[in-house]
Amino acid sequence: MRIKKLFFCILLLFFFCLEFTRGQNNGKTLVDVGVVTDVGTPYSEVVMLCINMSLADFYSSRPQLQTRLVVNVGDSKSDVVGAAIAALDLIKNKHVKAILGPWTSMQAHFLIEIGQKSQVPIVSYSATSPFLTSLRSPYFLRATYEDSFQVQAIKAIIKLFGWREVVPVYIDNTFGEGIMPRLTDALQDINVRIPYRSVIAMNATDHEISVELLKMMNMPTRVFIVHMYSPLASRFFIKAKELGLMEPGYVWILTDGVIDNLSLINETGVEAMEGVLGIKTYIPKSQDLEKFRSRWRSLFPRVELSVYGLWAYDATTALAVAIEEAGTNNMTFSNVVDTGRNVSELEALGLSQFGPKLLEMLSKVQFRGLAGDFRFVSGQLQPSVFEIVNMINTGEKSIGFWTEGNGLVKKLDQQASSMTALSTWKDHLKNIIWPGEAHYVPKGWQIPTNGKKLRIGVPKRAGYTDLVKVTRDPITNSTVVTGFCIDFFEAVIRALPYDVSYEFIPYEKPDGKTAGDHNDLVYQVYLGRYDAVVGDTTILANRSSYVDFTFPFIKSGVGLIVEMTDPVKRDYILFVKPLSWKLWLTSFLSFFLVGFTVWVLEHKHNPDFRGPRRFQASTICWKRVFSFWARALVITWYFLVLVLTQSYTASLSSLLTTQELNPTITSMSSLLDKGETVGYPKTSFILGKLKESGFPQSSLVPFDTPEECAELLSKGTKNGGISGAFLEIPYLRLFLGQFCNTYKMVEEPFNVDGFGFVFPIGSPLVADVSRAILKVAESPKEMELQRAWFKKKEQRCPYPDTQPDPYSSSTSVQLDIDSFLFLFVAVLLVCVMALGNFTYCFLKKDHVSYLNEVEMSPCSSSQQMPVKRKTQLNMSQVHDQDSL
């Protein structure tokens, strides 16, 4: 180490002497500038070599310039106070016109104050903390990229893979804390939650690092952003690998503070980082850069060039240009206080008269440097591209880039591809090897196998235990939780692609009574006492402000139940209700049409259809017929009457045996207008809804069980009961499965989204559980659970699972003409055909020949008439002629 340090000092001395000799021989103006650095450190060695190479290259290519910079080194000794002392010494004793450095952001904080006080520009090539910008000192120039610039690249990566929770891991100093405000804001923009922040002390021991890693291991979050110095990052990842945090499922993202200084990490540390993603400062390729790298490798084959060395090279060039442009006039310090009296070091510095002019020239410097375009904007460089790398055994592998205009792309010349439902991360980045050599994208969180079980709160209530029921085993004294909601949740957990350990914890007091209503239970999740709530918990807007709900696993709403009256007992024309008025009218018209047609066909040759008009009219009801068409028509009519009679009988029987109930109350507004008392379930949100609707507290009666609700409804308001009860649809289905013959739902005054499972805001379980709910709801398992728990308790009631419609009633449906249209049309066709045949036969033959030959005519079946009937017919005809 001493030999290496000696070589370094000799090399610096060589450059100093060389430049000094050039200045003396050529008569150039020497300008003192300072460099504050941690002498003897690897990164300081690289930076000093680059500074001196920059001056040598700059002046060798511009011999005509009138100024020459003389570098004065101040050793900060890796300490904040040491950096301040070195800066004070350079300004007071060397009268430097500008200072390059220091290395860390904490050191820069003090130097900025000194530079502001003395008007000496501080040009830093490595202080990246955003906190330094907040000081708003015009004499601080950042010849590097502020840490907050890379936040957008980190945000794009997290958004691309859809991770919902992230844990930042950062060093406990100005450098580490500086990035956090911008990182937090960026993650909030994409609704990513930060459940925990891991802060590592700069001098943390291996044991302290292990303790923090164990905390992270027991968290469900598996995405970590690491922002610290490279030496600490090396120790951190070596311990992480030892404890198993580099296994498949974990995601690690490194900031450029680590990736840009990989040369400071040993081989063991690099191997421990395998699978890690990183943000790296992008240095565009150029001929000057390639020539410089080639020259560097030939001069210093064992020293690796870093991006900070390139920035130091460009910052030195910019300073040389600015000093040349500012001229050599007025390079003095004024207002120097007499050091003989007791004054502070800052008071003894004085003001640099050259500082304002130099600062103006620095702000105007613009050129193409080794690290890219060099131009100060608001006192710092502005990046536009970051490189995304993936750590492998041999080091880093480029997998893409982030640009301000195109976001994440595989190549810089690639057009931006927008994220759509069909696009994947492979459209934006190259293949990635994740920790544990996994080739699948980690989901970003996982229930720790060695962690605690999920504490799931369940409500405890006396009624409607088909949904949730809490009992205690007297033998084992263990809690047993059953019900539709519980079985559905367990089916959902089985549908998840991973195992989840959980335990049900009833929300009850030590005496076994409920500890509060559903609002109180949901609030316990917000307080962190429960990890979730499973039960008959309704999704409400006010609750969603402090917890997250899954998709509803059962539809819900609020229905109004009232008592029914039976109008059948006082209906004196019930017998006409089985048929609609159209069917009654059509039946009567068909009856007269058939009778008329039969009379037309029979009255000429059938004595039963002759005689006085009153007698002939009565033959419509019943008489024997002899003609073929009359018999065909009567048979068709008989069939219609048979079907119609049987249907009428069945419908009338249904009306007589099944009560048709009408509600006593038709709406919630009628309850309000009449000032009726209404009921609601205990521990339900319905109480608040009723108060908002205008019901006074005195008219609201709580109840627990369906039996208690039915008893209150049967009493009515006048007898100390209620006139209506408000129930959620699942409760209502169970209630009507037991009391369907007396009560009915008449209105659904409030709409709610349904029952859902409750989780803390931002919980990654919400999305997975919601998807699992959809799987179970679309499978036969859902109907199986419905049939198992929604059962009827009264034989005459419908099944709540098969008839979930609460508006359904026992009213019989009237028979309409549509059901018998075919038969009526058939009768009409036979009538038309019979009348047509009769008219044809009547017109074809004259009346006399027709009567004489009626027995032989194919249009008649009189040939089959008995002789006695023929004689009677002839005598009747003679009698008619005599009467005429």
Mean pLDDT of 536-562: 89
The per-type count for the chain, helices as H runs and strands as E runs, is: 29, 30
CB 584 within 8 A of CB 576: yes
492 pLDDT more than 80: yes
Q: Is the pLDDT of residue 118 over 50?
A: yes
Q: Write the pLDDT tens digit of every residue in 332-378.
A: 888 655 555 555 666 667 889 999 999 999 999 999 999 999 999 99
What percent of the chain stands above pLDDT 70?
81
CA-closest candidate to residue 467, choices 776, 755, 804: 755
Domain ranges of the chain: 2-146+287-375, 148-282+384-437, 454-543, 557-566+659-751+788-812, 585-658+818-883
Residue 300 CA, chain-centre distance (Å), reads: 54
| pLDDT band at residue 24 using 50, 70 and 90 as cut-offs | very low
Question: What does CATH list as the number for 454-543?
Answer: 3.40.190.10
Q: How confident is the model at residue 291 (pLDDT cuts 50, 70, 90)?
A: very high
Cα separation of the two ends of the chain: 155
Query: What pLDDT is recorded for position 421?
Result: 45
The Cα–Cα gap between 75 and 40 comes to: 9
d(CA 234, CA 21): 44
CATH architecture of 148-282+384-437: 3-Layer(aba) Sandwich (3.40)
- For the chain, what is the mean pLDDT? 82
Question: Averaged over 697-709, what is the pLDDT?
Answer: 88
Residue 102, preceding bond cis, omega within 30 degrees? yes
pLDDT reported for residue 2: 41
Burial classification of residue 221, based on how many CB atoms lie within 10 Å of its CB (0-12 exposed, 13-18 middle, 19 or more buried): buried
Range scoring the smallest mean pLDDT among 227-231, 282-286, 377-381, 569-573:
569-573
Query: Roughly what angle, to the nearest 10 degrees, separates helices 780-789 and 765-777?
Result: 80
pLDDT bin (cut points 50, 70, 90) of residue 624 is low
Please determine whether the domains at 148-282+384-437 and 454-543 fall in the same fold group of CATH: no
Identify residue 529 by its one-letter amino acid code: R
d(C-alpha 860, C-alpha 602), whole Å = 10
| Domain range 2-146+287-375, its CATH number among 3.40.50.300, 3.90.700.10, 3.30.390.30, 3.40.50.2300 | 3.40.50.2300
The full length of the chain comes to 884
Alpha helices in 395-506 (DSSP H): 484-495
> Do β-strands 558-565 and 662-663 pair in parallel, antiparallel, or remain unpaired?
antiparallel
468/484 Cα distance (integer angstroms): 7
Q: What is residue 340's predicted lDDT score, i.e. its pLDDT?
A: 53
Name the band, by pLDDT with cuts 50, 70 and 90, for residue 852: low
Determine how many CB atoms are found less than 10 A away from the CB of residue 515: 15
Question: What own/partner pairs with CB < 8 Å and gap ≥ 24 does 688-695 have?
Answer: 689/558, 689/726, 689/750, 690/726, 693/668, 693/749
Interatomic CA distance for residues 469 and 462, integer angstroms: 8
- Residues 259 and 251: their CA atoms lie apart, in Å, by 16
Q: Which of 40-49, 205-214, 300-309, 727-736 is predicted with the least confidence, judged by mean pLDDT?
A: 727-736
According to the CATH classification, is domain 557-566+659-751+788-812 in 3.30.540.10? no
Distances (CA, A) of 811 to 229, 581, 659, 814: 80, 18, 8, 9
377 CB burial (10 A radius; 0-12, 13-18, 19+): exposed
Task: Compute the average pLDDT of residues 14-18.
Answer: 48
What per-residue string of b and e applies to 812-831 under the rule 16 or more CB within 10 Å gives b? beebebeebeebbeebbebb
pTM for the structure as a whole? 0.67
| Residue 433 and residue 278 in contact, taking contact as beta carbons nearer than 8 Å | no
Residues with Cβ < 8 Å from 629, sequence gap 6 or more? 601, 830, 833, 834, 837, 838
Question: In the 3-class helix/strand/coil scheme, how is 135-187 assigned residue by residue?
Answer: CCCCCEEECCCCHHHHHHHHHHHHHHHCCCECEEEEECCHHHHHCHHHHHHHH
Contact 139, 87 (CB under 8 A): no
- Output helix, strand, coil percentages for the chain, rounded to the nearest 5: 45, 15, 35
User: Token pair of 346, please?
Assistant: 């800052």
Give the whole-angstrom CA distance, residue 21 versus residue 425. Answer: 59
SS3 683: coil
pLDDT of 804 above 60: no
- The least confident of 73-82, 112-121, 654-663 is 654-663
Q: Residue 866: is its pLDDT beyond 50?
A: no
